[in-house]
Structure 1
Amino acid sequence: MRFGVIAFAATMLVGSGLSGTGALAQDQQTLADIRQELTVLNVEIQRLKREFSTTGAPQTQASGSTVLERVDAIEAELQRLTRLTEQLNQRVDGIVKDGTNRIGDLQFRLCELESGCDIATLPDSPTLGGDVTTPLVAAPAPEPATPEAGGTELAVGEQADFDAATKALEAEDYARAAELYTAFDTSYPGSPLAAQAHLNRGRALDGLGDTREAARAYLASFTNDSAGGTAPEALYQLGAALGRLGQNSQACVTLGEVGTRFPGADAVSAAQSEMTALGCN
């Protein structure tokens, strides 16, 4: 919902101009009284707009001594922000309904005060802020999308681009594969194939000997989907990469989390072997 819509909707809830005059009989109000109410509401709009302006730098911090602790902190913060967003959405829905009813009441009273106005011909009050569920202009029909095996529809060309990168990886053309997976991430943000693409990009970077960037790719894969089918392998590969970078302490913690988070996964045995090789306690 656009900023202006939210600000105006919030104004209709907080503004006290209408509630203060609700006790007056309709026949005691003049057109000037109603216009005065609208003026008061306009002042409230300007005041509340300032409340939607930021007051400083964000306070969110992804603290933690290990990579996994920082990932967990990020996940917790995302959950908190999601809850706040849902609460705001419910509040705004209530504000829109209340504000729309108030506007309809104003239209009714204005019609009563104006000569030549037929109340029976008054149109329905438009939804405050516009009806976001129905577009004003019919959108063109979307191009056919390729359905993924899991049922999620992919963008046109998305599966083909992913397959091309995978083919390069299988052919051990690591430079080409890394380039194609990077382009895939840029072209299809939020793709259902993103976690697998990051994981494969890490493998390609490992093939090029770029362990540091590979570790970042594995972390991106795990962060993108920390509970999906690629998560155990991504977490194992991240721990192994940290070990190759000499970060043995973080590597041991990360590898230990594979069995804790995903007992029974194929990557658990590989993680345990890697922990033995690193001398983890």
Structure 2
Amino acid sequence: MRRLIAVLVLVLLPVPALAQDRTQTLADIRAELNTLTADVNSLKAELTASGASNPNVAGGSALQRMDAIEAALAELTSKTEELQNRINRVVTDGTNRIGDLEFRVTELEGGDVSKLGDTAPLGGQAAATVGAAAATSDPAAQAGSADPAPDLAVNEKADFDRAKGVLGQGDFRAAADQLKTFTETYPGSPLSAEALLLRGDALTQLGDIPNAARSYLESFSGTPNGSFAPDALLRLGQSLGTLGQTPEACVTLKEVGARFPGTEQASQATVSLQGMACQ
């Protein structure tokens, strides 16, 4: 009976309470639902075997209550799977769009598009593996589905600040070179998005618009929901416009308003769209 009470308390908790830990993934939630479902089935078997299926309980017999709980768990599991599928569709569509932008920028630079590798999944590896992680109830497998935020290396912040300082002094060539060295020395750095954005700014000042566009694209695609993503996407669209790629520029600038409505960058994108007479 104590097990029954424990399960009822967990199941009857409001959904927001189950989602209080913001680090919990859909895979974690689905695993918990699977565990609760197994507990409910086990308790039903115990009640039936012990002959305790008919005691009166508020709302019906014990087995009736268990059936209701089991149905609620099944509905929650179904909604979790539906949400997971929607996320996977968004990741696939977003990754394809970024891959198309990478292809177009490489063409503009006169690069070899055949050497382009696979586009990194939108949102990083954790988003790409959410479907596979949710398919198992193994806690160890789920724990490995998302990488923790990396710590800064010993000289990482100092190197970044040095390059940023050079940019502030107006030495755009040196700044572009140092920021490129930074991203190569510290791949996956939490400062990469800003470093790539600043490198794009330095290259823009040097008139190297194709490489500036690529740097903005790398900044955005690495962290499409990060704090520097609106600026990176805006400047990518503006760079494409400068290169004469008006249709691509219009699509990119419209995406700024769609992804980041109400922001200063969205307002600037609207101005740029009007200047290019985008439909």
TM-score for the superposition, normalised by structure 2: 0.52
1:67 and 2:107 equivalent?
Answer: no
Deviation at 1:75, TM superposition (A): 2.2
- Where does residue 252 of structure 1 map in the other structure? 250
Q: Is the 8 A contact 2:230 2:256 kept in 1?
A: yes
Report the Cα distance in structure 2 between the residues aligned to 1:86 and 1:156, rounded to whole angstroms.
33
- Where does residue 9 of structure 1 map in the other structure? none
- Where does residue 274 of structure 1 map in the other structure? 272
Q: Which runs of 5+ in 2 are unaligned?
A: 1-91, 105-117, 142-148
Report the Cα distance in structure 2 between the residues aligned to 1:76 and 1:270, rounded to whole angstroms.
25
Residue type of the alignment partner of 1:278: M
Report the Cα distance in structure 2 between the residues aligned to 1:216 and 1:251, rounded to whole angstroms.
14
Deviation at 1:191, TM superposition (A): 0.6
Report the Cα distance in structure 2 between the residues aligned to 1:174 and 1:211, rounded to whole angstroms.
13
- Where does residue 195 of structure 1 map in the other structure? 193
Report the Cα distance in structure 2 between the residues aligned to 1:268 and 1:232, rounded to whole angstroms.
8
Give deviations 1:183-238, integer Å, cap 9, x for gaps: 10011111110100000000011011100000000000001110111010000000
Where 1:272 maps in the other structure, the secondary structure is helix
Report the Cα distance in structure 2 between the residues aligned to 1:165 and 1:242, rounded to whole angstroms.
26
Deviation at 1:86, TM superposition (A): 2.9
Where 2:215 maps in the other structure, the secondary structure is helix
Q: Using a 3 Å threshold, how does the CA distance of structure 1 residues 239 and 87 change in structure 2: closer, same or farther? A: same
Report the Cα distance in structure 2 between the residues aligned to 1:218 and 1:76, rounded to whole angstroms.
16
- Taking only the aligned residue pairs, the percentage that are identical comes to 41
Report the Cα distance in structure 1 between the residues aligned to 2:235 and 2:196, rounded to whole angstroms.
12
Q: Using a 3 Å threshold, how does the CA distance of structure 1 residues 206 and 76 change in structure 2: closer, same or farther? A: closer
Residue type of the alignment partner of 1:227: N
1:159 and 2:154 equivalent?
Answer: no
Deviation at 1:253, TM superposition (A): 0.8
- Where does residue 130 of structure 2 map in the other structure? 83
- Where does residue 222 of structure 2 map in the other structure? 224
Where 2:230 maps in the other structure, the secondary structure is helix
Give deviations 1:128-147, integer Å, cap 9, x for gaps: xxxxxxxxxxxxxxxxxxxx
- Where does residue 210 of structure 2 map in the other structure? 212
Report the Cα distance in structure 1 between the residues aligned to 2:220 and 2:132, rounded to whole angstroms.
24
Q: Alignment length, in residue pairs?
A: 166
- Where does residue 34 of structure 2 map in the other structure? none
The match for 2:263 among 257, 262, 265 is: 265
Report the Cα distance in structure 1 between the residues aligned to 2:140 and 2:227, rounded to whole angstroms.
36
Give deviations 1:25-77, integer Å, cap 9, x for gaps: xxxxxxxxxxxxxxxxxxxxxxxxxxxxxxxxxxx996559529999994289
Residue type of the alignment partner of 2:244: G
- Where does residue 235 of structure 1 map in the other structure? 233
- Where does residue 168 of structure 1 map in the other structure? 166
Residue type of the alignment partner of 2:129: T
Residue type of the alignment partner of 2:223: D
Report the Cα distance in structure 1 between the residues aligned to 2:165 and 2:247, rounded to whole angstroms.
35
Q: Using a 3 Å threshold, how does the CA distance of structure 1 residues 89 and 206 change in structure 2: closer, same or farther? A: farther
Q: Using a 3 Å threshold, how does the CA distance of structure 1 residues 154 and 248 change in structure 2: closer, same or farther? A: same
Give deviations 1:155-199, integer Å, cap 9, x for gaps: 111111001111111111111001100110011111110100000
Q: Is the 8 A contact 1:235 1:255 kept in 2?
A: yes
Q: Which has the larger radius of gyration?
A: 1
Q: Using a 3 Å threshold, how does the CA distance of structure 1 residues 68 and 178 change in structure 2: closer, same or farther? A: closer
Q: Using a 3 Å threshold, how does the CA distance of structure 1 residues 76 and 184 change in structure 2: closer, same or farther? A: closer
Report the Cα distance in structure 2 between the residues aligned to 1:73 and 1:164, rounded to whole angstroms.
29
TM-score for the superposition, normalised by structure 1: 0.52
Q: Between Structure 1 and Structure 2, which shows a larger proportion of helix residues?
A: 2
- Where does residue 86 of structure 2 map in the other structure? none
Q: Is the 8 A contact 1:63 1:73 kept in 2?
A: no
